[in-house]
Structure 1
Amino acid sequence: MNTEPTTRLAGPDDCCDVITLWQNCGLTRPWNDAAGDFTRAIDNPAADILCLEEGGRLVATVMVGYDGHRGWVYYLGVSPDRRAQGLGRHLMEAAEIWLRERNAPKIQLMVREDNKQAIGFYEALGYEVQPVVTIGRRLK
């Protein structure tokens, strides 16, 4: 493809396209409300969804947020037909820039422990598996 990818922030009109991409990438789960996640991110001044487009086509996204202590990354997804072409790396660089602009000292993300491909991707970018246990509770 000849078109240089461009990164932009998602807006309300992007909801359907973003969720479709997340579904195509296997990122959604029945117990998570993807539309709610999308809306909370774009409505929150401490979060954004970065969209990567080529020729007007959404090919990748990443949700990024900063809680005042750590930066977080969620929903990094690259269209299955565009994988292994550097787009995920491109978006992770954009997420790191977004966080540096907010003076975040650290970036973290969660990957399901059986997703060896994703773990390998992040390790290739210099991320390390951290010796922590994630503890949570649903509020709704």
Structure 2
Amino acid sequence: MLDIAEIADADIEAVVDLWARAGLTRPWNDPRDDIAFARSSGHGTVLVGREEGAIVAGVMVGHDGHRGAVYYVGVAPDTAGRGHGRAIMAAAEAWLKARGVWKLNLLVRAGNEKVIGFYETLGFNVQDRIAMEKWLDESRRPK
């Protein structure tokens, strides 16, 4: 059973390490900046799951006032298969529901069939959509 709570300042490096070990970080996104932005936005947070005091799961969750979104959903690789992914996603959904959000969207990189299958077991459906982007800060664009 995970003990799930919002991230504290002292948890940041452990969460960044967890996300790196889970293969979620990318060179063009500094997870520390993402954590700070989510926490300061008033519309997001990072939830962490602890097992025997150690952070073994994490998710960034937020909303735009209409729809919710999750990012950096990850579990410690050595704890895979224990239900931590389900538990942290349930906590993210509960966080959104508590704020009156009625729909949750997420993005999965193309070809990540294992992750797509996981989300389908949680009731998510693949949508026929095209994701588009526009960089408002060119200095943050991946090179």
Which TM bucket (shorter chain)?
over 0.9
TM-score when normalising by structure 1:
0.94
Distance 2:40 2:51 in 1: 25
Alpha-carbon distance between aligned partners in 2 of 1:122 and 1:84, rounded to the nearest angstrom: 14
SS of corresponding position for 1:117: helix
TM-score for the superposition, normalised by structure 2: 0.92
1:38: which partner in 2?
35
* Residue of structure 2 in register with 1:74 after alignment: 71
Unaligned ranges ≥5, structure 1: none
Partner SS state of residue 48, structure 1: strand
Residue 53 (structure 2) pairs with residue 56 (structure 1): yes
Please, what is the CA RMSD of the aligned residues? 0.9
Q: 5 Å matches for 1:7-46?
A: 7-46=4-43
Q: What is the match of residue 141 of structure 2? A: none
Aligned counterparts of 1:123 and 1:8: Cα–Cα separation in 2: 25
Greater displacement, 55-64 / 38-47:
38-47
- Partner residue in 2 for 1:84: 81
- Residue 122 of structure 1 is matched in structure 2 by 119
Q: What is the alpha-carbon distance in structure 2 between the residues aligned to residue 39 and residue 11 of structure 1? A: 11
Structure 2 unaligned residues grouped into runs of 5+:
138-143
Q: Which amino acid aligns with 2:92?
A: A
Report the alpha carbon displacement of residue 13 of structure 1 after superposing the two structures with TM: 1.9
Q: Which amino acid aligns with 1:84?
A: G
Deviations 1:49-97 (A, max 9, x none): 0000011100000110011110001100000001111110011111111
Deviates more, 1:35-44 or 1:78-87: 35-44
Residues 62 and 76, structure 1, Cα contact 8 Å, conserved in 2? yes
* C-alpha distance in structure 2 between counterparts of 1:58 and 1:70, whole Å: 27
Residue among 78, 81, 97 paired with 1:100: 97
Structure 2 SS opposite 1:27: coil
Alignment partners' CA distance in 2, 1:43 and 1:139:
19
| Offset, 1:31 | 1.2
CA displacement at 1:44 relative to structure 2: 2.0
Equivalent in 119, 129, 132 of residue 129 of structure 2: 132
| C-alpha contact 1:11 1:42 (8 A) present in aligned 2 | no
